[in-house]
Amino acid sequence: MTVTVRLHGEPSRYLGTGSDIARLEVGEGATVHSVLTGLGLPEREYWLLAVNGHVARPHDTLRDGDLLECVAPMSGG
């Protein structure tokens, strides 16, 4: 099945595409965590997860056509 992954901010470097978005082929039953782990993305690199615009948890199962988004922690002042 195909999912689209969008990594906002610094984590986009884990896609290796020069872009912050990529379409990936993943196996049936793939979870948010398994996809991010497969990209080599450490948990410290993100603080908010969403699937199709709704807050998601790492153990949520993905479906064909889903959009998985990860937002990096931010700092500044």
Please give the Cα distance from 48 to 61 (Å, whole number).
16
| Cβ–Cβ under 8 Å, residues 66 and 52 | yes
Q: Does domain 2-71 have CATH number 3.30.565.10?
A: no
Q: Is the pLDDT of residue 8 over 80?
A: yes
Residue 51 confidence (pLDDT): 98
What ranges do the domains of the chain cover? 2-71
The confidence band for 77, taking pLDDT boundaries of 50, 70 and 90, is low
Q: If you average pLDDT over residues 15-20, what whole number do you get?
A: 82
Per-residue pLDDT at 22 exceeds 70: yes
The 10s digit of each residue's pLDDT in 35-67 is 999 988 888 878 899 999 999 999 999 999 999
CB-CB contact of 67 with 8 (8 Å): no
